[in-house]
Amino acid sequence: MQFEYSKEIGLDSEITKKRFESEVAIVCGGGSGIGRATVERFINDGASVAIFDINPNFLPFDEKYAKKIKFYLTDCSKKQNCVDNVTNVLDEFGKINHLVYSVAYFGSETFNASEDDWSKSLMINVAGAGYMIGAVAPLMKENNRKTICLMTSISQVSAQPNRWTYGASKGALWTLVRHSALELAKEHGCRINSVSPSWIWTPEVAKADYASKEELQDSVGKHYHMLGRVGETNEIAAAITFLASRDASFIHGHDLHGESS
């Protein structure tokens, strides 16, 4: 069954249409989930977008988005793959203004975690972000507009069962934001922040945890979120693109938490 993205949430996308006019964003993991919604919001707001994703077989974008997208097959856990494709984006678009890292390995193990479990969690979720930051930051230096946003999680601060590998990697990702914020600001004039969503209706959640949004609502949204519902991908995309906007010009080294109780 094909996953259906919600269009129910009314956002201010009509009044932000030109805030990224002529700018270029790289969205890692932009083929699905929160990354996909972020691609659409950047384009809605005037940017062109390079998608870095390991899966070329993602659901096609609506034609109004597709004409401003360029896809690059990328395994972000491989440093040279990241560096090469960042160079390709620069050659293709002439500049890079924004980076969003929404790649994640969702494996969650505890006592039984293997070397492979830990390696995937740390290489994909953390090292890949570091590779991408290292690749784009020097190329952003001459731009007036430059931002980075990493996708963390409430799992980094909220104790949850069976989340050792995933939670630890997301905690490490937040630490990466804090430490890299020093060099990025002083040496590159670039802001970096992160967004930590709570429960969001995404293809990965549907595949791994809950068969329907209604089931997720009943099990999680009504009990653990003060708003009484789970979040939508376009709501998280709105937060990510806000942090990339001029309205967030003095927000740096910050983690924006999702709704929770």
Tell me the pLDDT tens digit for each residue of 55-99.
998 989 999 898 999 999 999 999 999 999 999 999 999 999 999
Average pLDDT for residues 227-242, to the nearest whole number?
89
Whether 256 shows a pLDDT value over 80: the answer reads: yes
- Report whether 224 contacts 260 (CB < 8 A): yes
Contact present, 86 and 136 (Cβ < 8 Å): yes
First to last CA, the chain: 32
| CA 45 to chain centroid | 17
114 neighbors 136 (Cβ within 8 angstroms):
no
Average pLDDT of the chain to the nearest whole number: 87
On the CB side of 105, CA atoms within 13 Å amount to: 26
| Predicted confidence (pLDDT) per residue in 113-153, tens digit | 788 887 888 999 999 999 999 999 999 988 889 999 999 96
Q: Say if CB 230 and CB 200 are below 8 A apart.
A: yes
- pLDDT level of residue 170 (50, 70, 90 thresholds): confident
Domains of the chain (ranges; CATH) run 20-199+233-257 (3.40.50.720)
**Whole-structure pTM value:** 0.91
Conformational region of residue 26, where left means phi above 0, alpha means psi within -120 to 50, and beta covers everything else: beta
- Kindly report, residue by residue over 171-214, the tens digit of the pLDDT: 899 999 999 999 999 999 999 999 988 777 677 766 666 667 66
DSSP state, residue 200: E
Backbone angles phi, psi at 27, to 5 degrees: -120, 105
User: Which residues are paired to 50 by β-bridges?
Assistant: 26, 70
Identify the residue with better confidence: 247 or 220.
247
What 3 state SS string does 136-184 have? HHHHHCCCCCCEEEEECCHHHCCCCCCCHHHHHHHHHHHHHHHHHHHHH
Return all residues near 62 (Cβ < 8 A) that are at least 6 apart.
40
